[in-house]
Amino acid sequence: MANNLEALETWAAVLLDRLEPGERGKLARSIGQELRRSQQRRVMAQENPDGSKYTPRKQRDLRGKQGRIRRKLAMFKKLRTVSYLKVRGDSNSVTVGFTARIARIARVHQFGLKDRAVRGAPDVRYHQREVLGFTRPELGRIHERLLAHLTI
């Protein structure tokens, strides 16, 4: 996947140098927004970029609790919202990522690191769930979007 991204980058660099900085910025923001939407759909479907499903959460005993038993909640429900998944684009780059405390949570899941679920709890190794990543169709859409913008 890295080779495809590098090939796209070298191919696009020559074409992007011909554009004015304002046009490059506009193109970067539109590509970033499209990438954010596709990342949100993939996180909602709980899939890694290679198409495999996320490792399911650890089962919890909810019968021991008093009161109402909640329905099964989707993983990363808030993480995929626009307020947490930000796009930044300028004339030189596009960034799609998380901000502040949410970035730490996403990084733990992205790389399968250790973390505490709550303060004072023991460290737990989380399963790797690639929250952000490129799929082949996304790289193709970037390629098409770039060509469409340059032919206008």
Report the pLDDT averaged over residues 98-117: 91
Nearest Cα to Cα of residue 94 among 26, 11, 17 = 26
Give pLDDT, residue 13.
Answer: 79
pLDDT in tens, 110-132: 999 999 988 898 999 999 999 99
pLDDT in tens, 44-84: 999 999 999 999 887 766 666 666 666 666 778 888 888 89
Kind of pairing, strands 85-89 and 94-98? antiparallel
Tokens of 136: 């082949």
Single-letter code of the amino acid located at 109: H
Given a cut of 90, is residue 108 above it in pLDDT?
yes
Instruction: Provide the percentage of residues in the chain whose pLDDT is more than 70.
Output: 88
